[in-house]
Structure 1
């Protein structure tokens, strides 16, 4: 976890400077600024339509920002950086989607191997060795030769996490990684993410899992209507929110 209190502050790994995102002339993210330190786990919470997933996609340049700057290790990334630079950025900032995005005709091993070969130019044998290591990392070494249809939803999501880890990212973005899973299967994915947090992986997680946000994240960021409304330690934002909009959102969760 990042240094806090009176200790030395780490330079940001990832910085967003007044980032806005527009779709078809409609702005869905409004001037968001956010810095994430190495090893920090940031949970993005908020109502549907708040712009959380759009912000993640923009960090990964799946959707370029309409204005503002995105920097990694102090270096700005832009949509004009060129294909090679954007591919490198996506290797450094991995992404795990709610829908797994695995190739159904390939085994778990092949799914984790393929991206290394095509994106990083790693020889197949070396890529397979790394894939087996990362499948073991997420507790699925015994599933290496199974295709996604033979795996549960939770196992498929853990394969997707292994695929992201095999790219040696500096940070991983998680977009509602358990939303497509029933609670029992979601628990195993959250346990894997908790282990990654304990290992010092930098993560930004869009989630409705308040227990994860409270007990694993270093910082909780509440978004609504495309903007950051409130952010701070989980004990503050979740247990003692200051803004009325945050209070209303969390009260709805408690009352369900």
Structure 2
């Protein structure tokens, strides 16, 4: 059995925001069908890495590159990257006045939308009271996350980036969001048994609902450690992030 092909390759990535360097040489490979978890203290660069991969403005790559499906993403905007198969769930999704959730799901589906798909998403994510409201206008934290998962399930990206999916969500909604994430990541696509994901989490709580293959710790703008996600979380809970820089795995 051959190893899965790399889907996302991040090479020696340095990223600055304004005059401040946030990422200082990140190397990361996510292969087809893999789900990775990115742990780290607040301010360590986790969201910066996701936003740079997505292509949000304001994140300046000063060195290194990002390849997706073998294509260098430099110069491609967020819409072009989405069309290539990159999806994102933001920590704080923006509100969109004048656009109904139903409309945004139809746009995300990109020609695959039908009423059966909509009914399935409404039922799974309990969207009955949200589907004809302006996107995220007056939504609770849990409603925002469910709304975003509906859009991602409709989009069906090859790689999904999740920025702290458990943030601001109660236990009931975490379970719903986690089940939707699992459905998205396990869904088959041409030539692959399942899709790929990168989950940013500060607490690790989402891993009670979603399985992940590999964990990383981003510390001081660099990937300091790699291993079993649950083992990493256990060590961090007992010893803190500072011990990650002493981890034998990352010794050169």
Tell me which interval the TM-score lies in, with the shorter structure as reference length.
0.7 to 0.9
Q: Counterpart of 1:142 in 2: which secondary structure? A: coil
Residues 1:210 and 2:204 aligned together:
yes
Q: Structure 1 residues 158, 30: closer, same or farther in 2, change over 3 A?
A: same
Deviations along 1:111-132, one digit per CA (max 9) or x if unpaired, are 322456xxx5x5xxx6464861
Does structure 2 retain, via aligned residues, the 8 Å contact 1:131–1:163? no
* Counterparts of 1:134 and 1:39, CA distance in 2: 24
Q: Please identify which structure carries the higher strand content.
A: 2
Residues 1:182 and 2:174 aligned together:
no
* Structure 2 partner of 1:11: 5
Residues 1:237 and 2:224 aligned together:
no
* Structure 2 partner of 1:135: 121
Q: Tell me the number of residue pairs that the alignment of Structure 1 and Structure 2 aligns.
A: 230
Deviations along 1:132-190, one digit per CA (max 9) or x if unpaired, are 16724843463433444575432321221222333342111111122122344333222
RMSD of aligned residue pairs (Cα, Å): 2.9
Residues 1:156 and 2:149 aligned together:
no
Q: How does 1:69-80 map to 2 (within 5 A)?
A: 69-79=65-75
* Structure 2 partner of 1:87: 79
* Counterparts of 1:130 and 1:69, CA distance in 2: 40
| Gap regions ≥5 residues in structure 1 | 1-6, 250-256
Q: Structure 1 residues 130, 38: closer, same or farther in 2, change over 3 A?
A: farther
* Structure 1 partner of 2:250: none
| Gap regions ≥5 residues in structure 2 | 188-193, 245-252
Does structure 1 retain, via aligned residues, the 8 Å contact 2:166–2:205? no
Tell me the TM-score normalised to structure 1 length: 0.77
* Structure 1 partner of 2:17: 23
Tell me the TM-score normalised to structure 2 length: 0.78
Which 4+ runs in 1 deviate beyond 6 A? none
* Counterparts of 1:101 and 1:128, CA distance in 2: 25
* Structure 1 partner of 2:34: 40
* Counterparts of 2:9 and 2:145, CA distance in 1: 27
* Structure 2 partner of 1:58: 52
